[in-house]
Structure 1
Amino acid sequence: MNKAIFWDFDGTLVYCHSLWSNSVLQVLNEQLPGRGITLADVRPYMVSGYPWDLPEPHPEIKADAWWPFMYRKFAEVYRRFGVEPAAAESLGPYTRELILDVSKYHLYDDTIETLSCVRALGYQNYILSNNYPELRQTMRALGLEGYFSGCVISGEIGLDKPDRAIFEYALALAGHPEHCLMVGDNPRADIAGASNAGIPSVLVHRNTVSNAGHTCAVLSEIPSILATSSK
């Protein structure tokens, strides 16, 4: 029997301490020393403006076009804080380097154990993530790549959660499994998106209201859910 689990990445398998906001904050404090800009100042400008926030389909924002889209967002934020326009436009690649720094990513204590356990139960693991095109390299550096049968990454294909199309893409990649599950930490992108595509889900690391079938404080609770549901 073909069984698959689709895993979100950030906030689900790894944590990275507000990486995008902190990266922009680092650039701002280097460009504007002495201003005392804080994470609380930056965060309101970083909660939206990503490809997955766009209301219309955007298949062109992928691969080599993905980061230039983000560079424009970064430049807008830098200008808001008073960075000169020419400098703001030039800081995108440096911001990208900070975001891709693998030392900023940390596996949850039970990530590897859980991925191994669910494979032992006969499930194939797939990444299903709203993320930059280089996510596979980050996974490889973290030692995760070998635990997955495939990846669906928004920055590679120009589709984003919660769009039903990206879940259908994932189902096709997995060979339309008879049993599948979405695991993620975002009630809208992961849980509502999966529900709209007819995929049951588990919300992890978040104690909030959602329509997930299960809510787990830690990943290590998931194998027992799978074992019970398969009986």
Structure 2
Amino acid sequence: MKLILWDFDGTLAFRKGMWSGALAEVARSYVPGCSAVREDFAPHLQSGFPWHSPQVPHTHITSGEQWWHELSPVLGAALAAVATIPLAHAKQLVPRVRETYLDSRHWRLFEDVVPCLQALTRNGWSHVVLSNHVPELPSLVESLGLGSYVAATFTSALLGYEKPHPQSFRAVLSAFPAARAVMVGDNYFADIQGAQACGLSAILVRKACVHAPTFHDSLATLPEQLAGVQPVVAPDLRLPASPSATGG
């Protein structure tokens, strides 16, 4: 089985404004007189998300509700600072941020995604999503019409590990033990270095980096490159997790 591990955000799809944009939309909608824009929020979101500390597992989080609860102080503090409202009021608006961020109407697939997936599928490739993302990512993948191409979606929010942590890659390969896999993503640190550290081939897309062994500015050229490729197997990743790997 030939398997592609796809990053999601910035590789397959995008949300205009991302987290800063969602916060700005909520602030303007629910705080009278507020005219905040996404650039106002960006400085307040440089830390506090799980992927800002990928070396730290968060396996104590066992549900989507708990994940959002732990993120609430970060989002609430940003709203309070930018919209100049009491922190208690800001925390009451966090559920609105969640709704706004997840609204599929704000998300778009890149134009080259579906043609690429179709071509690769015809060439015998299977697909999974592995992304540092929110708990609701599987539903978001479905809502964008990718369900017919993607065999499974793995989100760091529920795995308990952020890329490039090897346990995130282990989760996928343990679910597909017969697969020969390659990683495709737009983040050199999380996607490319993370996969390579686990012995996997990796292809950087959309965001160039001089250190990347292979780069494509579009997915349109991927099917040609991957034609006839037999990706490597990383058997060590299919073993049960060791205490040192899980932080135990």
What TM-score, normalized to structure 1? 0.91
Deviation digits for residues 9-49 of structure 1 (CA, Å, limit 9, x no counterpart) = 11101121222110111222335444543322211222332
What residue in structure 2 maps to residue 57 of structure 1? 57
Gaps of 5+ in 2: 232-248
1:195 aligns with 2:209: no
1:149 aligned counterpart, secondary structure: strand
* Matched residue type, 2:142: R
The answer to whether the 8 Å contact 1:184/1:202 transfers is: yes
Q: Distance in 1 between matches of 2:120 and 2:211?
A: 23
Task: Note the C-alpha offset of 1:176.
Answer: 4.3
Q: Distance in 1 between matches of 2:226 and 2:22?
A: 37
What residue in structure 2 maps to residue 67 of structure 1? 68
Task: Note the C-alpha offset of 1:62.
Answer: 4.2
Task: Note the C-alpha offset of 1:230.
Answer: 4.5
The answer to whether the 8 Å contact 1:3/1:180 transfers is: yes
What residue in structure 2 maps to residue 104 of structure 1? 106
The Cα RMSD (Å) is 1.8
What residue in structure 2 maps to residue 161 of structure 1? 163
The 5 Å alignment of 1:128-167 reads 128-167=130-169
The answer to whether the 8 Å contact 2:119/2:223 transfers is: yes
What residue in structure 2 maps to residue 29 of structure 1? 28
Q: Distance in 1 between matches of 2:119 and 2:99?
A: 34
What TM-score, normalized to structure 2? 0.86
Per the alignment, do residues 17 and 210 of structure 1 end up closer, same or farther by CA in structure 2, a change over 3 Å counting?
A: farther
Q: Distance in 2 between matches of 1:228 and 1:140?
A: 29
Per the alignment, do residues 20 and 227 of structure 1 end up closer, same or farther by CA in structure 2, a change over 3 Å counting?
A: same
* Matched residue type, 1:131: H
1:205 aligns with 2:206: yes
What residue in structure 2 maps to residue 216 of structure 1? 216
The answer to whether the 8 Å contact 2:48/2:74 transfers is: yes
What residue in structure 1 maps to residue 3 of structure 2? 4
The answer to whether the 8 Å contact 2:27/2:36 transfers is: yes
Q: Distance in 1 between matches of 2:199 and 2:128?
A: 17
The answer to whether the 8 Å contact 1:9/1:127 transfers is: yes
2:127 aligned counterpart, secondary structure: strand
The answer to whether the 8 Å contact 1:205/1:218 transfers is: yes
* Matched residue type, 1:106: R
Q: Distance in 1 between matches of 2:17 and 2:192?
A: 21
* Matched residue type, 2:115: E
Q: Distance in 1 between matches of 2:43 and 2:203?
A: 28
What residue in structure 1 maps to residue 12 of structure 2? 13
The answer to whether the 8 Å contact 1:8/1:190 transfers is: yes
* Matched residue type, 1:58: H
Q: Distance in 1 between matches of 2:77 and 2:192?
A: 31
Identity of aligned residues (%): 31
Moved more, 53-62 or 198-207: 53-62
Q: Distance in 1 between matches of 2:208 and 2:104?
A: 28
The answer to whether the 8 Å contact 2:20/2:39 transfers is: no
What residue in structure 1 maps to residue 81 of structure 2? 80
1:58 aligned counterpart, secondary structure: coil
Deviation digits for residues 169-206 of structure 1 (CA, Å, limit 9, x no counterpart) = 111112242x3210111111111111111111111111
Task: Note the C-alpha offset of 1:208.
Answer: 2.5
Q: Distance in 2 between matches of 1:198 and 1:33?
A: 53
2:148 aligned counterpart, secondary structure: helix
The answer to whether the 8 Å contact 1:19/1:104 transfers is: no
Task: Note the C-alpha offset of 1:207.
Answer: 2.1
How many pairs are equivalent? 228
Q: Distance in 2 between matches of 1:170 and 1:42?
A: 34
Q: Distance in 1 between matches of 2:149 and 2:72?
A: 32
